[in-house]
Amino acid sequence: MAVIRKAILICFHSLLNNTRSLASISASQNHSPFIYMFQEKIKSFLEMRDRGELLVQKARKLFCNLLKEVALAVPSEYVKFGDVVQLVAPDMPRKCRGTEGELGVALSGLVGEKEVDSIQHYVEGSVMSGSSHLTPCVRNSFVIRSGDCLKRDGEPLKFGQDFNLCPVVNLSGHELYVQSEVRRLDSQVGPSGYPELSLTSHRNTYCRWRALCWDPLQRPETEGSPVPPNCRLVINHAPSNRNMAVEHQHWFQTYFGMECQVAVHTYKDVHRRETSENVWMLVTQKPKDLNATVQA
C-alpha cells in the first residue's frame, strides 16, 4: 500500500509541475483569476510537501513508527517483569471468515484514520485491536510492568499477580498503560457493546491485569507459581474480574487492514471453562507455529 501511494504521489507531483509550467505560460497571455488561484493552490501544495504535512506523508510516517520491528524477550523458563512480549490469541481466526490453519490474533495498538492527520504515534485514548499481523513490531509488543508500582524487573511474573502492560516504544514523553474502565454510562465501548481496551497515561486501578491458568480446575494449584511463556492462559481484568476477549464477530477497516475488537468480557462453555475468545499467550519469541505450544 505504501508503494502504491508513493507511485501515485510521484505521478501527481509530475502532473502538477507540468501543469504549473502550462499555467505560467497561459498567465503571461491571459491574467485570469482562475489561473492565479490555481497557481496559489499548487504553491500551497508544494510547501506542504516540503514540510511533510501531506496526508500520504503522515500515513507513511505512521507506518514507519508502528510497524518497526522489535526484539522480544529471549526465551527463558518463565515470563519476567520488564520482558517485551506479545499477547496472542492462538485459537482465533485471522480473518472475518477464517479457515482452518489461519489462526492467531495479536493485541495491537491502533491509530484511527481520522487521527492520522494530527498524530503518528500512540496518544492517550488510543484504542487496542486484534490484528492478524504477528511479526513483532511496535504496535503489537508490550512491556510487562509491576502492578504495585515497585521495581520488579527481572522477577518472575506469577499466576494471580497484578501487572501492567505498556507499549514497548513511547514518543509521548510519559509512559502509557493498557486499561479498560469498568463500564459506566459514559464508558468507551466498541461495536460489541463491551468495554474496549485503550491507553492511558495514568497508572490507575483499571490498568491492573492478572494471568490465570486456562483450566479453572488447576487455578488453585497454580496460584502464585511463575508463568511460563508461550502457554495458553487467561488474562483477567482485576477491577472488573472479567477477561480480555477477542470479539471475532466484530471486524472493522483500519489503516493496517481488517482488524477485530478486543474488549473485556468473559466467555464460558457449558462446563464453566473459558472459551477460545478468552485464551491468550504471552509470547517471548517470534511465533512460528502457534499450535505447537505448551499447555499451562
Mean pLDDT on 261-275:
93
> What tens digit of pLDDT does each residue of 61-103 get?
777 788 889 999 998 899 999 999 999 999 998 887 655 568 8
What integer best gives the mean pLDDT of the chain? 80
pLDDT at 294 over 60: no
Confidence (pTM): 0.76
d(CA 83, CA 217): 28
Mean pLDDT on 49-64:
68
d(CA 171, CA 234): 30
How open is the CA angle 243-190-199, to the nearest 5 degrees?
A: 70
Q: How far is CA 280 from CA 47, 107, 193, in A?
A: 48, 10, 21
d(CA 294, CA 141): 21
Question: How distant is the alpha carbon of residue 78 from its chain centre?
Answer: 24
> What tens digit of pLDDT does each residue of 217-243 get?
999 999 999 999 999 999 999 999 999
Q: What per-residue confidence (pLDDT) applies to 271?
A: 87
d(CA 96, CA 169): 29
> What tens digit of pLDDT does each residue of 14-24 get?
444 544 454 45
> What tens digit of pLDDT does each residue of 180-200 get?
987 665 555 667 789 999 999
